[in-house]
Chain A
Amino acid sequence: MKPKETKKHVTKISSEKSKQPDRGCYFTIFNCDDHTCSTGNSQGCNTIIECDTANTGGAENNGICKDNNYGGCVHTLACRPSANADRVPREVLEDEDSINAFIRTIAQDRAHKKI
């Protein structure tokens, strides 16, 4: 006999890898939409302005916060390779966790399947 199928009532929409505030790893993103982007590249970036507590690492990825790089890092998910090729490490642009990567994947899959 086929087991009764359970209906999915709660679906996580955020990334499965989304960051949980695991106590002591707090960070802040400032609203980069105001006037200019504080990273100085004006490409629609978010900047983590204040990290604290036990996070002493800091971001040394040329100032780019790739992931959970606490310590007052610059986080540039929306940087575009065309304008920032010399500024943004390739791994950031290809960061599979980012919303940009997620959107790109959908577009690529869609084009591939000609939907």
Chain B
Amino acid sequence: MKLDNPFKPDLNRFHVFNFQNKYLMLDIGNTCLYELSEEAYVAYNLWVEKDILPSDEILEQLNVLFLSTVVEDDKIMAEKLERDLPKQRLLWLGVTHNCNLRCSYCFVDLEQNVKQNMDFATAQKGIDKLIVDSGDQRELSIIFFGGEPLMRMNLLSEVVAYCHTKESQCNKIFRFNVTTNGMLLTPEVFQKLEELHIDVMVSLDGDQEAHDRLRKTKTGNPSWNHIIKNLERIPNFGKKIAVRITITSESPDYLKIYKTVEQLGFETIFMTEVCPGPQRSERLRENIDILKENYLKLMEYLFEKAITQGNVALSKLQRFLDALYEGHKTYYGCATGLNGYYLAPDGTYFPCNRMITSDMRFKIGDINLGFDPSIQKLFIKNHIFNRSCKECWARYLCGGQCYADSFWFTNDIADPDPFACEMIRFKIMCAAFFLSRLRECKESISSA
């Protein structure tokens, strides 16, 4: 007897793949992950390719999966996303474009004849605007950015004090964060940051060799040793300070880089490939298979770490694991231009610091005149349903990539770099594989 089977293979709703001999099925719209038996995987593919129905036993189990699926209407969802202007909740405050380093890939052009240091009045106006534009949202974030923001410690203190005066008046809570190159991060400065409740993230470029090649001082000297010496003088710095690693190598050894910062003591690790354009060379693209192989080695290491220490400690992986485990969805690649903006020292708004171009095409407004709705609209409309992403199985997990990445490679914020897409899909598959192994590990412990 053949079963009445509501389940039908649908490439737009289910992505089925073999990763390291695990047979996985992603319910795309629900970001829900399943593991198939090898038999079911083969049968499913035969169904897709040759229209041969699987056995009743397999069909019955696939039907259960179908019943748990809710299909979202792309058109209705797109209209919802575009209907209302998002409320602002995040302000990157570019307190200075001056810096004590000269990193080869920095977005700031220090030769440009523009105001390099933000004054307090500009910061104050930015905060006031954030408060107004945030509406009834209570929780607001200020991220101090640069240049090197620790060159403006006084301004940081003034901003924090001003925000505190506004908290009770306006029923808001502010959180603060600073991204620093670490050159000025002495124990005394760190203590001050802790007193101000400013969380700290330090930028490093992988290992010492890569870091010193790309992140030099004004006089051309390497900076790694100076930064590490600073950090080592701060007790338990690895527990208190996060690290952001920019991957710049053409064939990065992710595991080696990870272990380098782990051995330094960092417990919270962010790792991102450098923005494309001139920096993302053809060689890196040619090396994509090596990159994947290297990334997989890192996954193996992190898996062991997870099951022995209960901790993944890699933000990107964590994000995909969260989304797959808990069924989260995303419609945008980033908050920039939606509810987060970058305020440059001269009072000009940009969606983010990486979108400052000489032709100012992404200037989204200024502190006196407010935002330009036509530029804002560009970002509000830049959701997955309006991009080539709408056909991609990874769309609800990725959200459409970093807009700056897309722009610097394709000259269009809506057209992502295919290299980055391939890498992100690979990383999502790694996370799926990781999760299925965690489940397997849990089951084997339970039955032991």
Interface residue ranges, A against B (CB under 8 Å): 6-15, 18-23, 26-44, 46-47, 49-50, 52-53, 58-60, 62-63, 72, 74, 77-78, 80, 82-83, 87, 97-100, 102-111, 113, 115
Establish whether residues B315 and A18, one from each chain, have CB atoms under 8 Å apart when the complex forms: no
Residues of B within 8 A of A (CB): 24-25, 29-37, 39-40, 57-58, 61-62, 64-65, 68, 70, 72, 77, 80-81, 84, 86-87, 89-90, 92, 136-139, 141-143, 145, 173-177, 179, 199-201, 239-240, 242, 244, 267-268, 270, 272, 306-313, 315-316, 318-319, 321-335, 338-340, 352-353, 399, 402, 432, 435-436, 438-439, 441-442, 444-446, 448
**How far is A8 from B175 in the complex, measured between Cα atoms in Å?**
48
A-side contacts of B30, CB under 8 Å: 18, 20-21
Partner pick for A31 among B68, B143, B319, B445, CB 8 A cutoff: B319
| Interface contact A38-B335, CB-CB below 8 Å | yes
A102 B86 Cβ-Cβ under 8 A? no
Known A14-B32, A40-B175; contact A9-B438, beta-carbon cutoff 8 A: no
Tell me how many residue pairs across A and B have CB atoms closer than 8 Å.
Answer: 271
Q: Are A98 and B322 in contact (CB under 8 A)?
A: yes
Pick the most buried of B39, B333, B334: most chain A CB atoms within 10 A of its CB: B334
**Considering the complex of A and B, which 9 residue pairs feature the smallest CB-CB distances, nearest first?**
A40-B175, A107-B310, A63-B139, A18-B327, A9-B40, A104-B310, A30-B335, A40-B141, A99-B325
Q: Are B326 and A30 in contact (CB under 8 A)?
A: no
Q: Which residue of B lies closest to A79 (CB)?
A: B268
With A35-B244, A40-B176 already in contact, the answer to whether A19 and B338 are too (CB < 8 A) is: no
Q: Which residue of A lies closest to B338 (CB)?
A: A49
Cα A99 to Cα B306 with chains together (Å):
11
- Which of A9, A15, A103, A104 lies at the interface centre, i.e. has the most chain B CB atoms within 10 A of its CB? A9
- A12 vs B65: C-alpha distance when bound (angstroms): 9
Of the candidates A10, A42, A58, which one forms a contact with B200 in the assembled complex, judged by CB atoms under 8 Å apart?
A: A42
**Which of A28, A42, A110 touches B331 (beta carbons < 8 Å)?**
A28
Q: Which residues of B are found within 8 Å of A102, using beta-carbon distances?
A: 325, 438, 442
User: Pick the contact of B445 from A14, A30, A59, A110 — CB < 8 Å?
Assistant: A110
Minimal beta-carbon separation of A101 from chain B (angstroms): 9
- A77 to chain B: which residues have CB within 8 Å? 318, 322
Classify the secondary structure of A's interface with B.
loop
Q: Which of A18, A34, A35, A109 contacts B326 (CB 8 A)?
A: A18
Closest to B400 in A: A31
User: How far apart are the CA atoms of A15 and B61 in the complex, in Å?
Assistant: 18
Q: Which of B143, B332, B446 contacts A49 (CB under 8 A)? A: B332
Contact A7 B136 (CB under 8 A): no
Shortest distance from the beta carbon of B212 to any chain A beta carbon, whole Å: 22
Contacts A20-B68, A35-B244, A42-B199 given; does A26 touch B329 at CB 8 Å: yes
